[in-house]
Structure 1
Amino acid sequence: MKIKSAITAGAVGISSLCLLVACGNKQQSSSKLVQWQQPGNLTTLDASKATDNVSFGTLNNSNEGLTMSAKNNTIKLGVAKNYRVSSDGKTYTFNLRHSKWNNGQPVTAHDFVYGWQRTVNPKTASQYSYLFDHVKNANQIGENKAPISSLGVRADGDYKLVVSLTKPQSYFKYLIAMAPFYPQSKAIVDKYGQSYGTSSSSMLYNGPFKVTGWSGTNDSWKLIKNNNYWNAKNIKFNGVKFNVQKDSNTALNQYSTGDLDLTNLVGKQQVGEFKNSKELHNLNMASTFYIEMNEKKNPIFKNQNIRKAISLAIDRNQFTKNILGDGSKPAQGYVSPGMPKHNGKTFVQDAGTNIGVSYNLNDAKKLWNKGLKETGQNSVDITLLSDDTDNGRSTTEFLQTSLEKLPGLSITSQNIPPKSRISRAQSGQFDMVINSWVADFPDPISFLSMFVSNGSYNNGKWSNSKYDALVNNAEGTDANNSNKRWEDLVNAEKTLMNDQGIVPIYYPVKPTIIKPRISGIQFFPTGSPYDLRNTHIDNDKH
């Protein structure tokens, strides 16, 4: 998931965190809403088109799928009241609750059929349609070789949903908790057309909250309790007001004066101020920040020596320790820590090497000069694209200084709103872009499937036939052999790093401070970032 977001239940090793915040000394808000700072804007409420963390967080609490993410990286039942799986692992039958949309209309199996069909429809251009690849005929539909109606999902009456897979998929129950698998109302999609999901009023909601006050461009919106939610009696607070504040110092001042209940800290100094505070929570994510190089737009990146030189010129230890200073760790590869162990070893232990993530400026210069000769260049001008957040600006400043030590390389940094950065990355309008990924479910394939040659998130168009074969084997011929599948994934990671298909930078944490009056928020390292269903507000806590 792009940080988006990005998405990513098994033993991940990073438990979801149910926060019971201790009392503090700072001024407390008495608002009946949680006041929550967001570093970037909401980009969409269309579950088929969401790609970023802000959108996924909002959607996860205003809508609901068959299952939901739960603590300790497990799942719990959502709209499905129960389900069974066939002995061959290829047929799932879900019995649905009698739940409602916020307008009082019933949520039925037909809404799930339509929502899934809409996501895989090529006309929707969903970047998450690839998650349906095990559903019968999904790939053929994506290639316009089969009708949308042939997708392996059908309604057996109003409250039974039957799903047919082409092959077993051990993590399917986690996928269906994600936004692309939510139900959607055909009547509402037809009513709003191209405007569907572009404002809070052009949507229906079947989750514990409904979104209000979002025009599509403004810097604040609310989640307000949805009284038609099937479990509304157990929602114990009124909701959340999200406020976009890109300047971390302003956000921290607002937190200190009681105008915010929850905000993220940025940088070494801010984190240090709360080092001994019970209000500070370092939220781990199964996530990696990395550089993509656009081989289609700028052919110089087709040269392996150029790609390797760029990676070798980056001192990740210095960056995470002295620039970020928030607990983030230097990348040891692309797949982040937090994946399940296999035969007692983590994925990073088996696949992580120094290749692709080491720092050696002398070697970088040698490879750079070699690459320039091979490409017939004397100098190179490159634009580096990133977000206009504090971390985004700090990252581009550090990388610009580091990379311009390569002879003849000139870097121009562009920091733009995350929504614009995501759009430009997806449309290939960049030389180099700093992207990030949060695993959608606890399996290395959530990372590695992105960079197959035809991957919908392979914005830089890197391509390697060996890598493609390894990923395809892990999802196909070796899918039911855990040892062979693990070996495929480990070798895929090593292939990606040996060829420097991307440049991993760091594994982030999210230092977050929360007022004592707020408790019960669950944060997740994979998939949707948080769940508000068990949140409480206690204005008597100080």
Structure 2
Amino acid sequence: AYLFSGVKNADEIIANKKKTSSLGISAPNKDTVVVKLNRPIAYFKVLMAYPLFGPQNEKVVKKYGKKYATKAQYQVYSGPFKIKGWNGTNDTWSFVKNNNYWDKKVVRLNKINYQVVKSNNTGYQMYQQGKLDLTPLSSEQVKNLKSNKDFTSYPYSLVRFLMYNFKSKNPTNNKALNNRNIRLALSLSIDRDIVTNKVLGNGSTLPTGFVANDLASDPKTGIDFAKQQKVKNTVDYNPTLAKKYWKKGMQEIGAKKLTFDLLSSNDESDSDQLTQYLQSQWTKELKGLKVNVTNVPDKSTTSRAQNGDFDIYLSHWGGDFNDPMTFMQIPMTGTSYNYGKWSNSSYDSLVRSAQNRDANNTSKRWQDLVNAAKIVNRDQAITPIYQQTTAYLQNKRVKGIIHNTAGTQWNYKYASVDNK
């Protein structure tokens, strides 16, 4: 819901202060949607390409009521394909060409079959048998299949990072996690080269800060935002400096030993390897630290994170649209995804300036965001570990797939299959 912020009355509706009928979005006729804003939104155009803002057909929504969108037949389709054979829970379905699509003449595929595969090994076997044309690979498979002619990789603006609990229920840990030197020590102890090349080995890349690379560029110079947000000695591997910060931080909080609980979701394919690496690396480099790992299903992880039931949370965020703001809303005071409850008035003020006062001044807005990102990175309020790249085997006969680095990943409008 936070993505609607800036649309007239949206914030008040989210806060239960106004009725949904007062939202500044209307359809004066069957071909027009009007959106009224209460402040300029610099990234408004790219936001409109996000599926959340796809206009709904009121007639269809009312016709199906509670059933709407629960199965393939309870939806209406305006894109190049329609969904067929999806009953809400099954593991196979299809996209079939939509003959009512306005640009149907350029759509070359008649059908795309989808199959949910529970393990990467099963996916690989099905690929070998010619039952799949595209399948993701695990880190282990990547090491063996890098030289395969069908090997390909798709980057995405998803950053894996650590969130610290700034309101920890454990008084000692609360002091520790609120100590910048301790957070810097934890970050500088991580060898991200080892993480990306050996622990994962799937082509994932090193982050410069908590905002993803290749997401947005400086409108004046074309320089990647990620380069501009970088703060020296924050995400580099520097065990000597880490030990120095650790010693200083432990003295400041008056502790000789610490035990942290590291929370992560075991539904994420890399969680086991990553948490094991962090546990062994931190206990090796930082004297007096013990790390307990809690790997639980995604639902439990989210519930624990929302309740502040963690010390350090191995989380992630993928960009919804191509603007730094998609990441920069997370650490703001009071944001629902700010599970660690970090709060910094200078950060909030800069992001608000970018959203309001400087929204129509391109260079000022950009500088507000760069300065704000530097606060998070300097403080290590969020510690980035890597930026995701997913490796796949893709049949050479499949051409023209568009993969976006933010928002909706896959676009098959121009895809085709060469059967020669």
Q: How does 1:279-318 map to 2 (within 5 A)?
A: 279-298=150-169, 299=174, 300-318=176-194
Shift of 1:340: 1.4
- Does the alignment pair 1:394 with 2:273? yes
C-alpha distance in 1, partners of 2:66/2:294?
30
Task: Kindly indicate whether the alpha-carbon contact (under 8 Å) linking 1:386 and 1:433 is maintained by their aligned counterparts in 2.
Answer: no
Q: Corresponding residue for 1:253? A: 125
Look up the equivalent residue of 1:481 and give its one-letter code: N
Q: How far apart, in 2, do the equivalents of 1:190 and 1:369 lie? A: 63
**2:55 aligned partner, one-letter code:** P
How many Å separate the matches in 1 of 2:391 and 2:40? 38
Q: Distance in 1 between matches of 2:35 and 2:414?
A: 30
Distance 1:203 1:418 in 2: 28
Q: Which amino acid aligns with 1:361?
A: P
1:512, 1:140 → 2: CA distance?
44
Cα distance change, pair 455–274 in 1 and its aligned pair in 2 (3 A): same
Pick from 456, 472, 475: which aligns with 2:352?
A: 472
Cα displacement (A) at 1:268? 6.4
Amino acid at match of 2:4: F
Amino acid at match of 1:322: K
Q: Tell me, what secondary structure is at the counterpart of 1:477?
A: coil
Amino acid in the other structure paired with 1:485: R
Deviation at 1:287, TM superposition (A): 3.1
The CA deviation at 1:505 is: 0.7
Task: Give the alignment's Cα RMSD to 1 decimal.
Answer: 2.9
Aligned partner letter, 1:316: R
CA gap of 1:148–1:403, structure 2 versus 1, over 3 A, is same
- Which amino acid counterpart does residue 385 of structure 1 have in structure 2? S
Question: How far is the alpha carbon of 1:419 from its aligned partner?
Answer: 5.8
8 A contact 2:206–2:385 mirrored in 1: yes
- Aligned-partner Cα distance in 2 for 1:301–1:180: 35
> Hey, what's the Cα distance between the residues in 2 that align with 1:522 and 1:367?
45
Which residue does 1:66 correspond to in 2? none
**Counterpart residue number, 1:140:** 12
Match of 1:42 in 2: none
Q: Deviations over 1:43-76 (max 9, x none)?
A: xxxxxxxxxxxxxxxxxxxxxxxxxxxxxxxxxx
> In the TM superposition, what whole-angstrom CA distance separates every residue of 1:472-508 from its partner, at most 9, and x where no partner exists?
1111111222222222111111100111111101122
Unaligned runs of 5+ in 1: 1-128
Match of 1:340 in 2: 217
Q: TM-score under structure 2 normalisation?
A: 0.86
Q: Aligned residue for 1:26?
A: none
Q: What TM-score does the superposition give when structure 1 sets the normalisation length?
A: 0.68
Identity of aligned residues (%): 40
Candidates 400, 414, 417, aligned match of 1:534: 414
1:195 to 1:384, Cα distance in 2 relative to 1, 3 A:
farther
Equivalent residue pairs, number: 411
- DSSP-derived class of the 1:329 partner: coil
Contact 2:306–2:339 (8 Å) recurs in 1: yes
Aligned-pair distance for 1:529?
0.2
What amino acid sits opposite 1:243 in the alignment?
Q
Alpha carbons of 1:334 and 1:147: their partners in 2 closer, same or farther (altered >3 Å)? same
Supply the distance in 1 between the matched residues of 2:210 and 2:96 (Cα, whole angstroms): 38
Contact 1:518 1:536 (C-alpha < 8 Å) held by counterparts: yes
State the AA in 1 paired with 2:360: N
Task: Confirm or deny: 8 A CA contact 1:356 1:504 kept in the other structure.
Answer: no
Deviations 1:136-174 (A, max 9, x none): 222222223333222222221222222222233332111
1:265–1:271 CA contact under 8 A, matched in 2: no
CA contact (8 A) 2:145 2:151 kept: no
